[in-house]
């Protein structure tokens, strides 16, 4: 991630972070060491990677023919919106249906322009594939819902 701060504040923020969060605690170090030594961390990572691969395939199936940008090692996907939608209007419409998305404008530094009008979809936002498919179904329905675009104009 990144943090955009007002001009002249970067060094102050850097100092504050280093002052208040110098190192991980010994508990964290011991927990990670135990996970590494037992092989549990590798199993957890492999399971997570398998889930992400499955969710990428599901997302492409459900959201076809829309342009979905994914990477096999990312827990996020980017959905390019049709021209009738803005990312701001789409995220509002999705939120009204109980789905939280990040609009492209939220991931650009001040004064920047997103490379597409789209939304960021979390591939790990639900605990089951069944719930993930329902989540994607809401997104798909919104992509085709002309009345939702009109009622959420911003």
HSE-CB of 92 using CA atoms within 13 angstroms: 12
The span from the CA of 143 to the CA of 149, in Å, is 9
Query: Which range is least confidently modeled, 40-44, 79-83, 147-151?
Result: 147-151
pLDDT of residue 94: 94
Query: Which range is least confidently modeled, 14-18, 54-58, 132-136?
Result: 14-18
pLDDT of residue 133: 96
pLDDT of residue 129: 94
pLDDT of residue 59: 96
Q: What is the CA radius of gyration of the chain?
A: 19
Closest CA to 6 of 110, 104, 105, 114: 110
The span from the CA of 83 to the CA of 117, in Å, is 8
Give the three-class secondary structure for 140: helix
In this prediction, residues 6-35 reach a mean pLDDT of 77
Name the β-bridge partners of 51: none
Closest CA to 67 of 103, 102, 118: 118
pLDDT band at residue 5 under the 50/70/90 scheme? confident
Give the three-class secondary structure for 102: strand
- Cα–Cα distances in Å, from 19 out to 3, 15, 61, 109, 126? 17, 6, 47, 25, 36
Closest CA to 48 of 75, 68, 69: 75
pLDDT of residue 18: 67
**CA 101 distance to own-chain centroid:** 7
Residue 83 confidence (pLDDT) above 90:
no
Do 81 and 90 touch, CB atoms closer than 8 A?
yes
Residues in the chain: 154
In this prediction, residues 33-43 reach a mean pLDDT of 91
């Amino acid at each position: 991630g990144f943090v955009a701060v007002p001009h002249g504040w970067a060094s102050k923020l850097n100092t504050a972070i280093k002052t208040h969060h110098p190192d991980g605690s010994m508990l964290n170090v011991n927990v990670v060491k135990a996970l590494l030594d037992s092989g549990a961390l590798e199993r957890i990572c492999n399971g997570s990677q398998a889930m992400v691969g499955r969710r990428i395939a599901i997302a492409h199936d459900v959201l076809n023919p829309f342009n979905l940008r994914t990477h096999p090692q990312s827990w996020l996907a980017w959905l390019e919106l049709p021209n009738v939608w803005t990312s701001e209007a789409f995220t509002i419409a999705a939120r009204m249906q109980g789905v939280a998305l990040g609009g492209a404008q939220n991931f650009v530094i001040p004064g920047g322009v997103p490379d597409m009008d789209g939304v960021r979809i979390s591939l790990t936002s639900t605990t089951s594939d069944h719930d993930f498919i329902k989540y994607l179904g809401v997104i798909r329905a919104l992509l085709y819902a002309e009345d939702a675009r009109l009622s959420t104009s911003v």
